[in-house]
Amino acid sequence: MATNGGSMRCAGSILGQHRHICAFFNSADEEHRVLGSFIKEGFERGDKACHLVDPDLREDHLRRLADAGIEVAQAMDSGQLELRRWQDAYLSGDRFDQDAMLALIEEVLQSGAASGYPLTRLVAHMEWALRDNPGVGDLVEYETRLNYVLPKYDDPVICTYDLSKFSASVVMDVMRTHPVVIIGEVLHENPFFVPPDQLLLELRERGRSARVQ
């Protein structure tokens, strides 16, 4: 994959060819402290920003962007900033459909390019998976399958997880689905990453084992 737009910094490091990033934080304050410069750089370079957020935290998210020096109203009016609630993305129809969500991710990335943006920087808050909506148990499979989609694009996609809310077992599974991880406020190539073919096979074996039991 050839990257566009020159070097891109994220969490203290230069982002390489792998652009599917898992970011673990302990609070919203930590998240915005770590990702603030990455997000602001995107606006300064003319990239599109697409943020998928908890609807209850929408106004707080916009306030934090404004506090970081981003002209939020102007960016939203121009279309450079696209803010989607979970109901307009992961939980459309009050359920999680991983096939529909994979298609939506491609649509967002393709539409950014079609609109003339050098890149789309997508940041997704993943706490929707803690809800009891149908389909949310497919989280790990979805994150794994994203690795078939995202290598076709140069756009960085950051999936943020609040460590205070997810179990250790989910955190470990999610980590294995991302080639790059932000942990301890630093970006690393992920030594625990498992290629999607291998991990999907493991998930299927787990499912068969659970049904037998």
As a whole-number percent, the residues of the chain with pLDDT over 70 amount to 94
Q: Tokens for 157?
A: 């996609």
Determine the pLDDT at residue 6: 60
pLDDT tens digits along 126-166: 999 999 999 999 999 999 999 999 999 999 999 999 999 99
Weakest-pLDDT range from 1-10, 115-124, 184-193: 1-10
Instruction: Give the Cα separation of 145 and 195 in Å (integer).
Output: 10
Strand partners, 120: 48
Q: pTM here?
A: 0.92
Stretch 174-196: mean pLDDT: 94
Class of domain 20-212: alpha beta
Q: What DSSP designation does 40 have?
A: H
Q: Tokens for 111?
A: 């539409």
Instruction: Give the Cα separation of 123 and 100 in Å (integer).
Output: 18
